[in-house]
Amino acid sequence: MLELNAVDSGYGETQVLHGMTVTAQAGRVLAILGRNGAGKSTTLKTVMGLLPAKAGQITFEGRAIGSGRPYDIARMGLGYVPETRDIFRSLTVRENLELAAKRFPAPPGGWTMARVLELFPRLGERMANGGMQLSGGEQQMLAIARALLMNPRLLILDEPTEGLAPIIVKLIHDRLMDLKRTGLSMILVEQNFGFATSLADDVVIVSKGQVVWTGTPDEIRADAEAQHRWLGV
Amino acid sequence: MQADLGFWVLQGLNALQLSMLLFLLSVGLTVIFGLMHFVNLAHGSLYALGAYAAATAGAAIGFWGGLLVAPFAVAALGVVLYLVFIRRMRRAGPMAQVLVTFGLIFVMLDLTRIVWGAQALSAPVPALLDGRLTILGVEYPAYRLFVIALGLAIWGVLALVLGRTQIGAMIRAGVDNDSMAACMGIDVEKMFFLVFCVGCALAGLAGAVAAPLLSVTPDMGLQILIPTLIVIVIGGLGSLKGAIAGSLIYGVVQTFGAVLFPQFASILIYGLLAAVLILRPAGLFPAKG
Amino acid sequence: MLETRNLSKSFGAIHVTRNVSLKLERGERRVILGPNGAGKTTLFNQLVGEITPDEGQVFLAGEDVTALSVQARARRGLSRSYQKNTLFDGLTVEENLGLAASVTHGHWHNIRYDSLTRRDVQDTVREVAEQVRLMPYLHARVSDVSYGVRRQLEVGVALATRPLVLLMDEPTSGVGPEMAKGFHDLLNDLPRDLTLLIIEHDMDLAFAVADSITVLNYGEVVFDGSPEEARGSSLLKDIYLGAWEDA
Amino acid sequence: QAEDIKVGLLLPFSGVYAALGEEIETGFRLGLDTFGEGSGASFEIVREDSEASPPVGLAKTRKLVMQDKVDVMAGVVSSGVLGAIRDVVDGAKVPLIVANAGNDEATGEACSPWITRMSFSNQQVNRPMGKYLVDQGITKVFTIGADYAAGQQMIGAFAEAFKAAGGEIVGQEFTPFQKTQDFGPFLAKAKSSGAQAVYAFYAGGEAISFVKQYDSFGMKDALPLYGAGFLTSQLYVDAQGRAAEGVVTALHYVPTIDNEANRQFVEAFKVKAGHLPSEYAVHGYDAARALVEAVKSGATDRETLGAALQKTSFDGPRGATAIDPATNNIVQPIYVYQIVAGEGGAQTQKVLSQLPAEADPVNGCEMALIN
Amino acid sequence: MFRHTSLRFWALGLIAAAAVLRALTAEYFGVEMVAEIAILAILVIALDMVAGFGGMVSLCHGALMGAGAYAYAMLTVKVGLAPSAAFAGAIAITGAASWLIGAVCGRSHGIYFIMATLAFGQMGYSLVFEQPVFGGDDGVSGVPRIDLSLIGLDLNDPRTFAFACLFVLGLVYWFATHVLQAGLGRTLTGIMHNEQRMRALGVNVWRIKADMFGLSGMIAAAAGALAAQHVMFVSPGLLNWTVSGEALVVVILGGLGTIIGPVIGAIAFVMLKHEVSAHTDYWHLVVGLILIAVVMSRANGIFGWLEQRLSRARPSSARDVIAHQVRKDLAAQGALEDA
Ligand SMILES: Nc1ncnc2c1ncn2[C@@H]1O[C@H](COP(=O)(O)OP(=O)(O)OP(=O)(O)O)[C@@H](O)[C@H]1O
Ligand SMILES: Nc1ncnc2c1ncn2[C@@H]1O[C@H](COP(=O)(O)OP(=O)(O)OP(=O)(O)O)[C@@H](O)[C@H]1O
Ligand SMILES: [Mg+2]
Ligand SMILES: [Mg+2]
Print the domain residue range for B274: 13-117+133-279
What whole-number distance in Å separates Cα of residue B25 and Cα of residue B19? 10
Helix, strand or coil, per DSSP, at residue E206: helix
Residues C53, C172 within the same domain: yes
Q: Radius of gyration of chain B from Cα atoms? A: 19
Overall average pLDDT of the C195-211 stretch = 87
Which ligand 2 atom sits closest to the C-alpha of C44? 18
CA atoms within 13 A on the CB side of E117: 33
Q: How many CB pairs under 8 A join A and B?
A: 75
CA D117 to chain centre: 10
In a domain, A12, yes or no: yes
What whole-number distance in Å separates Cα of residue A4 and Cα of residue A45? 13
- The pLDDT, as a whole number, for residue E331 is 37
- The pLDDT, as a whole number, for residue E332 is 30
Among the listed residues B92, B200, B202, the one whose alpha carbon sits nearest the alpha carbon of residue E292 = B92
- The pLDDT, as a whole number, for residue E294 is 85
In a domain, B91, yes or no: yes
In chain D, pLDDT over 70 holds for what percent of residues?
Answer: 99
Q: How far is the CA of D61 from the centre of ligand 1 (A)?
A: 62
In a domain, A116, yes or no: no
What whole-number distance in Å separates Cα of residue C35 and Cα of residue A165? 5
Q: How far is the CA of B223 from the centre of ligand 1 (A)?
A: 49
Sort out which chain C residues have CB atoms less than 8 A from E202's CB and list them: 71-72, 74-75, 103-104, 161
Return the domain boundaries, chain E. 6-338
In a domain, A199, yes or no: yes
pLDDT digits (tens, 9 = 90+) for E287-303: 889 888 888 887 788 88
DSSP H helix total and E strand total for chain A: 10, 10
Residues C117, C56 within the same domain: no
Ligand 2 neighbours, Cβ below 6 Å, are A 126, 129, 133-138, 163; C 11, 14, 16, 34, 36-42, 83
- The pLDDT, as a whole number, for residue A229 is 81
pTM: 0.85
Nearest CA to CA, how far is E137 from chain D (Å)? 6
Q: Residue C51 maps to which CATH number?
A: 3.40.50.300
In a domain, B124, yes or no: no
Across the interface, do E193 and C91 touch by the CB < 8 Å criterion? yes
Sort out which chain C residues have CB atoms less than 8 A from A129's CB and list them: 14
Chains D and E touch (3+ CB pairs under 8 A): yes
Characterise B136 by phi-psi region: left (phi > 0), alpha (psi -120 to 50), beta (else): left
What whole-number distance in Å separates Cα of residue E182 and Cα of residue C96? 16
By the CB < 8 Å criterion, does B176 face chain A?
yes
In chain E, pLDDT over 90 holds for what percent of residues?
Answer: 51
Beta bridge partners of A24: A2
At position B8, the amino acid (one-letter code) is: W
What whole-number distance in Å separates Cα of residue A81 and Cα of residue A144? 6
Beta bridge partners of C60: C2, C63
Mutation pick for ligand 1 pocket among A4, A8, A36 (CB with most ligand atoms within 8 Å) = A36
Mutation pick for ligand 2 pocket among C9, C10, C16, C218 (CB with most ligand atoms within 8 Å) = C16
In a domain, B123, yes or no: no
Sort out which chain C residues have CB atoms less than 8 A from A170's CB and list them: 242-244, 247
Name the band, by pLDDT with cuts 50, 70 and 90, for residue A179.
Answer: confident
By the CB < 8 Å criterion, does A164 face chain C?
yes
Helix, strand or coil, per DSSP, at residue E91: helix
Name the band, by pLDDT with cuts 50, 70 and 90, for residue C172.
Answer: confident
Beta bridge partners of E234: E140
Burial (CB < 10 A; 0-12, 13-18, 19+), residue B109, is buried
Instruction: Give the C-side interface with E, CB within 8 Å.
Output: 48, 50, 69-72, 74-75, 79-80, 82, 84, 86-91, 95, 98-100, 102-104, 107-116, 141, 143, 157-158, 161
Q: What is the ipTM of this complex?
A: 0.82
By the CB < 8 Å criterion, does A173 face chain C?
yes
Count how many domains chain A has.
1
- The pLDDT, as a whole number, for residue E7 is 82
Q: Considering only CA atoms, which residue is closest to atom 31 of ligand 2?
A: A134
Q: Radius of gyration of chain D from Cα atoms? A: 20
pLDDT digits (tens, 9 = 90+) for D309-336: 999 999 999 999 999 989 999 999 999 9
Residue E144 has pLDDT above 70, yes or no: yes
C242 or D112, higher pLDDT: D112
Q: How far apart, in Å, are the Cα atoms of C193 and each of A147, C47, C162?
A: 47, 20, 12
Residues C197, C102 within the same domain: no
In a domain, B128, yes or no: no
**D104 close to D363: Cβ distance less than 8 angstroms:** yes
In a domain, C168, yes or no: yes
Average pLDDT, chain B: 86
pLDDT digits (tens, 9 = 90+) for E208-240: 999 999 999 999 999 999 999 998 889 888 898
- The pLDDT, as a whole number, for residue E335 is 28
Cite the DSSP H helix spans in chain B: 5-30, 43-81, 87-89, 94-116, 142-164, 166-176, 178-183, 188-210, 220-235, 240-260, 265-279
In a domain, C82, yes or no: no
Q: Which of residues 110-139 of D touch B (CB under 8 A)?
A: none
In this structure, which ligand is nearest to the CA of A165? 2
pLDDT digits (tens, 9 = 90+) for B166-193: 888 888 888 778 889 989 989 888 888 8
E89 or E158, higher pLDDT: E89
- The pLDDT, as a whole number, for residue E336 is 30
Name the band, by pLDDT with cuts 50, 70 and 90, for residue D53.
Answer: confident
Among the listed residues E195, E219, E211, E204, the one whose alpha carbon sits nearest the alpha carbon of residue E101 = E211
Residue E337 has pLDDT above 50, yes or no: no
In a domain, B5, yes or no: no
Among the listed residues E284, D47, E241, D23, the one whose alpha carbon sits nearest the alpha carbon of residue B111 = E284
Question: Which of B259-267's residues contact partners 24+ apart within 8 Å by CB, and which partners?
Answer: B259/B11, B259/D185, B259/D186, B259/D188, B259/D189, B260/B2, B262/D173, B262/D174, B263/E130, B265/D176, B266/D176, B266/D179, B266/E126, B266/E130, B267/E123, B267/E126, B267/E127, B267/E130
* Enclosing H/E stretch for E328: helix E318-330
Print the domain residue range for A208: 1-77+154-164+183-228
Mutation pick for ligand 2 pocket among A85, A90, A122, A134 (CB with most ligand atoms within 8 Å) = A134
* Enclosing H/E stretch for D216: helix D204-216
Name the band, by pLDDT with cuts 50, 70 and 90, for residue E110.
Answer: confident
Overall average pLDDT of the B41-61 stretch = 92
In a domain, B7, yes or no: no
Across the interface, do E332 and A45 touch by the CB < 8 Å criterion? no
Which ligand 1 atom sits closest to the C-alpha of C147? 26
- The pLDDT, as a whole number, for residue B263 is 74
Helix, strand or coil, per DSSP, at residue E275: helix
pLDDT digits (tens, 9 = 90+) for A140-173: 889 989 999 999 999 999 988 877 777 878 888 8
Print the domain residue range for C171: 1-77+164-246
Which ligand 1 atom sits closest to the C-alpha of A35? 25
A65 or E337, higher pLDDT: A65
Q: Considering only CA atoms, which residue is closest to atom 18 of ligand 2?
A: C39
In a domain, A148, yes or no: no
Q: Report the top-level CATH class of E6-338.
A: mainly alpha
What whole-number distance in Å separates Cα of residue E308 and Cα of residue E297? 13
Across the interface, do A168 and C36 touch by the CB < 8 Å criterion? yes
Name the band, by pLDDT with cuts 50, 70 and 90, for residue D26.
Answer: very high
- The pLDDT, as a whole number, for residue B259 is 82
Residues C132, C27 within the same domain: no
Chains D and C touch (3+ CB pairs under 8 A): no
Residues C63, C170 within the same domain: yes
Name the band, by pLDDT with cuts 50, 70 and 90, for residue C87.
Answer: very high
In a domain, B1, yes or no: no
Burial (CB < 10 A; 0-12, 13-18, 19+), residue D50, is buried
What whole-number distance in Å separates Cα of residue C195 and Cα of residue C211? 11
Cite the DSSP H helix spans in D4-76: 18-36, 54-62
In this structure, which ligand is nearest to the CA of A35? 1
Phi, psi of D305 (to 5 degrees): -65, -45
Q: What is the DSSP string of E215-229?
A: HHHHHHHHHHHHHHH
**B166 close to A103: Cβ distance less than 8 angstroms:** yes
Residues C73, C175 within the same domain: yes
In a domain, A113, yes or no: no
Count how many domains chain C has.
2
For residue B123, what is the DSSP state? -
**A203 close to A7: Cβ distance less than 8 angstroms:** no
Q: How far is the CA of A17 from the centre of ligand 3 (A)?
A: 13
In this structure, which ligand is nearest to the CA of C81? 4
- The pLDDT, as a whole number, for residue E325 is 56
Among the listed residues E23, E108, D321, the one whose alpha carbon sits nearest the alpha carbon of residue B276 = E108
pLDDT digits (tens, 9 = 90+) for B127-162: 888 888 888 878 889 999 999 999 999 999 988 887
CB atoms within 10 A of CB D267: 11
Which residue in C has a C-alpha nearest to residue E205's C-alpha?
A: C71
Question: Given B176, B185, B287, which is nearest A74 (Cβ)?
Answer: B185
In this structure, which ligand is nearest to the CA of C36? 2
Count how many domains chain B has.
1
Beta bridge partners of B133: B140
Across the interface, do E1 and C87 touch by the CB < 8 Å criterion? no
**D148 close to D121: Cβ distance less than 8 angstroms:** no
Overall average pLDDT of the D153-174 stretch = 94
What whole-number distance in Å separates Cα of residue C65 and Cα of residue B252? 45
Residues C15, C67 within the same domain: yes
At position C77, the amino acid (one-letter code) is: G
Sort out which chain B residues have CB atoms less than 8 A from E112's CB and list them: 233, 237, 277, 281-283
